Every structure is written in structure tokens, then in C-alpha cells.
Structure 1
């Protein structure tokens, strides 16, 4: 990963207007923020810049307003939540460019914090037009990107601004990039990846990239059924993409060529109904009843997965092992998560996990805080795992 500048490189910023791209795309309920995790993640960057006497100007999007102002996608209600978490006054401006933004910025004192309105209320944001980017750039002297979760988008506020002024990674962006470097950039081997979830079709690029980079790839969730079916296993009524059998075979061939072990379930927990508490039984993977579906991997498979985690120095995890949201089909995910957490706490494992379902699963297992790093970045995390270049990250590079 190329070198990039961080807040450590920002020394005398007193009185400077610092445009900080943050992720405030948070869940709302009844007009209030219902989960403030993303705000908490960017708080250290905002507070550090404020302490150093900068005029901190926050840029963010909310929802998908498609380039037009939409009342219920305004960032105004979120300003109160940011204020509460920072325990510091946060002003709000009803636009991110033009006279309203300029007036609010001109009124700032050193150390003040201002949140500008949703950047996506302008078509030029997602199109990254030179005109809109130039208007945004008028508001600041320095650009700090602390929104890794939006770094896979080449938008004006994530990529364009870095061409107009000195650009730096905020603390959250820095932590994410450093963790990802430990995960797949320059990992300590052996490296084991766990990839779960429902469908192979959504993770073909990911699987093809991972088999070239890891020593073992554990496949769980509904995805495992597709690989098992490709090997001739009758998966009954299990979720399975039979039309992707050839793709699964090709991935297994690529893995063999690269010396990557593919780890599939050897037993499964099956049920006739997809509901909590459904009657279930453990069966050998070659003895799945034709009227049943696999909803979790079985105890022998858990043992096998934990053996690989035990051998690993680095673990990268995206996607649950089974239908963890429905009891008792969370057993495998919880068991693997707890064992990985135990080894991480003991200093024997670097564990990097990400993706919405994965974060939920680790929270469900009560071990999210024990992993080396848990990314809330969603799409950006997935694209990084796929080996794709992220525009919002590459533009911060000090190379060239």
C-alpha cells in the first residue's frame, strides 16, 4: 500500500479551514440517530483538529437524494447527535457550497466545528464535476478524508477535493488502512480467510482475489452449498446457485494452482423450516435429506474451521457461517468468532473483519471489540478485499 499523509503531518493548522469528509450516513428512527457508531468513529479526528485550533468543516452525505434537496435526507438532525458525542457545539449550514456555506464559514472561530448540508443535494457530487468540486474547494485550505466507507466512490468530496489542496488521512481512515495492510497487504502468514453469506454471485471477484493471497479459504453460509453442489453433493432444498457450478469449479482450480486450501463443511445442521427454533438435526454433508435445507455448518466442520484459525497468524473475515440471525443456527459463527477472539486476545492472531452481516454476527457473539479491527465500511471493505483500487484512498498517496 502506498504511503499517505496523516494528521501527524499536519502541524501548524491554527486558523486553517479544514474540510473533513466524514461518514454520517447513520440509521435514523423517529427523526433521531438510532446507531451512532459511525459518528463515534470519526470523533477523534474532529476533536484533534479542533484542539489544534483549526476551523473544522464537516462534509458528508446522507441517503440517495439523486442530486436534489430532499427534506428527510437533510443532515440537520444529525448535527445534534454529532454535538452530543463530541460534547462540543456544532453549527449547521443549509448548503455545502455558495453564500450560505461561505457565511457560516466566515463566522467561525478557531476550534469551531461546522457541518455543511448533504453534498449529494448537488448533482456534481456523485458526478465529481470540476465545477462543483471547485465550489467545494473554496470552503477550505486543507482536505482530510476520514470516510473510508465512501472511499470506493470517486465523488467530489471523496476524491475530487484532494486535487485542489493538501490531502491527509484522518484517524479512522488511517486505522482502517493500517489494519487492511496487516490483513492482506503485508500479512504475517499463514493467512486464513473466512467468507460466508448467501450467494456466490455477489462475491465472485472476492473469491478469485483471495485464493491468490491466502493460505486457506473457509467457505460458509449459503455459498458453501453452491461449492458442494459443484462437487456433486445433493444439498436438498438448501439455498444454492446451481447455475454457478462451473464458476465454483473454476475457483477451486485457481485455488489449487495457487496452493490455497478450500475448506468446505463436512457436516451440516439441517431443518425443514427456515424459522427460529425449527426442529433440526446434524447430518453428514453427503447425507442431506432431499426435503431439508442446511442452515448452519455442523460440529465437525466447526472443529475443522477452528483448526485452521488455530494455525493462522492472520484472519480475514467477511460473512457469517450460517443463518446466524435465527437461533439455533448461529452456533458455528459464534464458535469461530469466539475462538478467533480468544487467539487475538492472546496475541497469537491478527483478525480483520468487515461487512454489515459480519459486524452484526461479531456483535451477536459478543466479540467485536476483541478483534484486531472490525470495519464498518461495507462496500469499500468488500472492494478492498476484491483487490480493487479505491479512488478515495489512492488520491491520498504521497507517491508520484
Structure 2
């Protein structure tokens, strides 16, 4: 698999797949982190005398042109960050795109409009994707994927384009993801700890099973811990729980014991009558959750226990909050975990997932973490040990 600094891009036309799926409110970008993350690769390409054709998606237009999901504000903001004009080409593909690509000069940048305006982009099969990838590839000589956020998607712009260009490579953002999620975790410094939270066990089963025996400790919080409570024979009141996954939770508990990974579950909770409560009704032990209430955050003793595990860690991967952090009364567990990890001076700390990223930024501690992944689903699949479609395509078609 090649990366952009291993390819001669001078004077070449580059088709860049980027992840610019940014949040918008009334046409205004409210968070441009995803655009900023790709800027180093784009600036490198421009400095080398390349010309750039950007392609990305925004929202879920479901194969139809939705004016409110046009990439116009994204093109404008990208231009501001690069210090040049980024022209948005009307339509996804067509005469305007071909003409604009043909007229590109070194140092210039254009952006195709929302890829998902075309239904073929998200086709589930080769047949459904048709020749959309081939048409995209015809605009450029070299393909650069710097969109880890869609690396787990078998989209035309991700897996088909590499088949039809002279050379395919990854950008610096993709390279950084591979280095931290792949190389660093293949030979971690120990103790190696996985912190898993969030609402559902179902989204984390693959990760937990893959990491058993590889990590020294697994910390489980958030609503997903409730399923493990049920597996241990505890009642969980009205708490969110996945009853159909109790057997899976039992299996993980049993395998952790035999495979050398220590499982750390909550021993106490903050509880309230409903998820929209603005204050906790009290603290309860994990085996004494009130029948008419639900747990919404880990309790003080659990925070102390989890913090003790984290403080001796040398490698940490964190995905998922410890409670309903969006409400101040139930944010303490997530914030305490965030502070504990951020306070480690001699540890590799990796964060992934939108909610987890939100906790880190809420605390203004992003610069205290070794790496914050730009992918949600891609991050989870990587930790499950799966080969991502984007990486597979780049390896197969890097240099034909």
C-alpha cells in the first residue's frame, strides 16, 4: 500500500476522496475539524505542483439532488483554509466536471458536488455501483484516499476508483490512522487497556471478542454495562439493556477470565426515574438498582476503580462514554475517565467515535491525547480486526 509521499505527483491531476461530511446549521458549518484534518495532505500536493479534484459526500440525500446538502459551503471553507479559490462544479459528474478537470492547472483545486446525489455511489454491489467509479477515475491520473471516515464503506469512490487510475495511494490522514490503529496496537506497551462505553453491547461485541487476550484490562461503562449486570444475575430496573445479548455477555465474562484479560465493570451507579432527568436521585450499588429507576452514569466508587486501572496504563484505546454525558448531572463518569487518560504523561492514548470525541472536546483536552481517530464505523471495524474496504482496494491497486 502506497502513501502520497511515495508517489511522484508533480504536475499530475489528483482525485482526492476526502471526508468532509461536516455538520451544518442553516447552511453554516458548525465544526470544520474534518476539513482541517485533510489540509496537510492537500497542501503537500499543491506544493508538489499537483492539481486537485476533491470529492466527498454530505448527509444522506439517498441518490437525489438535495440543495440543502450541496457542498458549496464546504468548498468555500476549504478554500479559506488553503488560501485559494476552490470552485464547486455543478452536478456530480457530467460535461461541467469533465471540462473543469481538463482545464485544471497545477496548484488549482476544484470540488465535485455531493457524491451521494448519485445513487451509484452507495450501491451495495458492483452491478448497483455501475461505472460511476470508472467515470470518477477518468478525471485524474492519481487517486488519493484521505477519508478514513468512509474507509469501511464499499462505495464507488472508495473501492472502484482505484481499479481505473494509474496509481492509487493514501493521504497523510489515512497513514496516521494506520500507524496508530494498526502498527501501534500490534505491539502495544503494557498494560494495554480498552475502555468501552456507549449505549449498546451489539455495536461493541466484535471489538470485545477481538481484544480478549490481547489487552490486559477491559473497562466497560455506559448503558452497555447493564447487559453485563444482567448476565451476572443483577436486576437493572428500567435501565437500557439488550436482553437478547445476555448470553454473549456471559461468554465474554467467561472468556476474559481464561484468556488473561481482566474485565472491570461498574460497582455503583447514579440513577434517576427517566433519561430526561436533570439530576440524580441517588447512588446505588450495582446489585441494588431500584426497580422503578434507571442508571445514567457510573458512581463514585466505580470512577475510583476505573481511574486506578487507567493510571497504571501504557496503551489505552477508548470508545464510548460512561453515561449520559449530554446532561451535566450524568457527565461526571465520562469526564473523570477523560481526565484520567489525559493526565497520563507516558502513555499512548487513542480515542475514536463521535460521542467520545465530543467528551474530549467538551473538556478541551484534545491536545492531551496521542491520537483522535477521524472515523466512527471505520474505527470500530479496525478494532474488530477487520480489513477495511478502502485499505484492501489501495493495497490491491496501488501501482498497476
TM-score surpassing 0.5?
yes
1:26-41 mapped onto 2 (5 Å cutoff): 26-41=22-37
Relative distance call for 1:275 and 1:183 in structure 2 (3 A) is: farther
Alignment partner, residue 284 of structure 2: 283
Residues matched between the structures, number: 393
In the alignment, structure 1 residue 368 sits paired with structure 2 residue 388: no
Alignment partner, residue 4 of structure 2: 7
Aligned-pair CA distance for 1:279: 4.0
Alignment partner, residue 223 of structure 2: 222
Alignment partner, residue 168 of structure 1: 169
In the alignment, structure 1 residue 42 sits paired with structure 2 residue 5: no
In the alignment, structure 1 residue 357 sits paired with structure 2 residue 328: no
Alignment partner, residue 292 of structure 1: 293
SS in 1 for 2:157: coil
Aligned-pair CA distance for 1:117: 1.8
SS in 2 for 1:251: helix
Alignment partner, residue 88 of structure 2: 92
Q: Which moved more, 1:206-215 or 1:100-109?
A: 206-215
In the alignment, structure 1 residue 60 sits paired with structure 2 residue 56: yes
Q: Which runs of 5 or more residues in structure 1 are unaligned? A: none
SS in 2 for 1:157: helix
1:1-400 mapped onto 2 (5 Å cutoff): 4-11=1-8, 13-127=9-123, 128=126, 129=129, 131-165=131-165, 166-182=167-183, 184-275=185-276, 277-343=278-344, 346=345, 348-397=346-395
1:106-126 superposed Cα distances (whole Å, 9 cap, x missing partner) = 222211011012222223322
Q: How many angstroms apart in 1 are the aligned matches of 2:280 and 2:154?
A: 49
Runs of 4+ in 1 over 4 A off after TM superposition: none
Aligned-pair CA distance for 1:130: 5.2
Aligned-pair CA distance for 1:55: 0.8
Q: How many angstroms apart in 2 are the aligned matches of 1:273 and 1:370?
A: 34
Q: How many angstroms apart in 2 are the aligned matches of 1:154 and 1:140?
A: 21
1:9-40 superposed Cα distances (whole Å, 9 cap, x missing partner) = 123x2321011100111111111212111111
CA contact (8 A) 2:280 2:329 kept: no
CA contact (8 A) 1:194 1:318 kept: yes
SS in 1 for 2:158: coil
Q: Which runs of 5 or more residues in structure 2 are unaligned? A: none
Q: How many angstroms apart in 1 are the aligned matches of 2:98 and 2:245?
A: 54
SS in 2 for 1:328: helix
Aligned-pair CA distance for 1:237: 2.3
Aligned-pair CA distance for 1:307: 1.7
CA contact (8 A) 1:334 1:365 kept: yes
1:58-86 superposed Cα distances (whole Å, 9 cap, x missing partner) = 01112222333332222223211111222
SS in 2 for 1:198: coil
SS in 2 for 1:317: strand
Q: How many angstroms apart in 2 are the aligned matches of 1:209 and 1:374?
A: 21
Aligned-pair CA distance for 1:186: 2.9
Aligned-pair CA distance for 1:183: 5.2
Q: How many angstroms apart in 2 are the aligned matches of 1:183 and 1:306?
A: 23
SS in 1 for 2:349: strand
Q: How many angstroms apart in 1 are the aligned matches of 2:199 and 2:66?
A: 34
Q: Which moved more, 1:185-194 or 1:149-158?
A: 185-194
Q: How many angstroms apart in 2 are the aligned matches of 1:65 and 1:289?
A: 44
CA contact (8 A) 1:211 1:254 kept: yes
Q: How many angstroms apart in 1 are the aligned matches of 2:80 and 2:312?
A: 44
Q: How many angstroms apart in 2 are the aligned matches of 1:37 and 1:185?
A: 28
Aligned-pair CA distance for 1:56: 0.8
CA RMSD, aligned part only? Answer: 1.9
Q: How many angstroms apart in 1 are the aligned matches of 2:219 and 2:49?
A: 48
TM-score if structure 1 supplies the norm length?
0.93
1:166-219 superposed Cα distances (whole Å, 9 cap, x missing partner) = 111111111111111255333222211011011212322222222243111111
